[in-house]
Amino acid sequence: MPADIYVSRIAPHFWEEPVISGKNGTAAVFFTGCTLDCIYCQNSEISQQNQGHKTTAEEIARKLDKLICSGCETVSFITPTHYIYAVQEVIRLLKPTVPVVFNTSGYERAEVLRGLEGYVDIYLPDFKYADNRLAQEYSGVGDYFEVADKAIAEMVRQTGKPEYNGSVLKSGTVVRNLVLPNHTKNSIAVIEHLSEKYGDEIIFSLMGQYIPHGKATAHPKLNRKITKREYQKVLTAFENSRLDGFCQELSSADEKYIPNWDF
């Protein structure tokens, strides 16, 4: 992406975890571009094809202020890492009265995240892979586990244990894992690692929304949704762990939950 700020959507978003969306949604900024190149990305139009429009920090702050005034309960910056300076500027201009969420793939440098201390209340990273071979094949990076592990440790250091304001998260780190077809062992390994390292210091979100998209539709292991049996295996591991959090129903694997990229 260029130095100019490109976004693909600024609007209320209702389909994040309940502690982030609340009843009235999160004021979500979907930035164009991404730090990864996942072959199954549901948002590939904006993450890889770079569809979006040029804007400014002032314009983003103005639109977010309107959304907060309309009742949105948090502000979410989605795939924002490559625009970290813009995010800082938006937050300085906005002076948000609701928690700020940094929604990321997990593939972050800890030293970059340290620049967000004091700006971000809630981190919402993925922990996609315990197996770097899968990370290389599916997302184009061979060091995902080590990088994401250090990044999440920095996020937890900044936020501490989850704290709530009513039913909405006030601060904390929520770690997601998307279950991929044919790869339940990967998700179970992620759960075991997070459980051992963090326990109740984080919130875990197990995601069953996988839909074949983009290049994945032609991949022999990724060209279908996950089965009930696959999801139950991972869900059982989650239930037997020290982690607390959320799990999606398999009905979430539906294209109607993918935002409309109206730019």
pLDDT digits (tens, 9 = 90+) for 126-156: 999 999 999 999 999 999 999 999 999 999 9
CATH class of 5-257: alpha beta
Given a cut of 70, whether residue 95 has pLDDT beyond it is yes
Contact (Cβ atoms closer than 8 angstroms) between residue 176 and residue 71 = no
Tokens 């759960």 — which residue?
191
pLDDT in tens, 12-55: 999 899 999 999 999 999 999 999 999 999 877 877 777 889 99
Contact (Cβ atoms closer than 8 angstroms) between residue 101 and residue 74 = yes
The residues, any chain, with a CB within 8 Å of residue 152's CB and separated by 6 or more, are 106, 123, 125, 127, 173, 175, 202
Helix/strand/coil (H/E/C) assignment for every residue in 240-261: CCCCEEEECCHHHCCHHHCCCC
Given a cut of 70, whether residue 262 has pLDDT beyond it is no
Beta bridge partners of 178: 207
Cα–Cα distance, 29 to 11 (Å, whole number): 7
Mean pLDDT, residues 79-107: 97
pTM of the full predicted structure?
0.95
Greater confidence (252 vs 70) lies with: 70
Q: What is the pLDDT of residue 93?
A: 98
Domain boundaries defined on the chain = 5-257
Sheet strands (E) in the chain: 5-13, 26-31, 53-55, 74-78, 100-104, 122-125, 163-165, 168-178, 203-207, 244-247
pLDDT in tens, 195-219: 999 999 999 999 999 999 889 999 9
Mean pLDDT of the chain: 94
pLDDT in tens, 157-179: 999 999 999 999 999 999 999 99
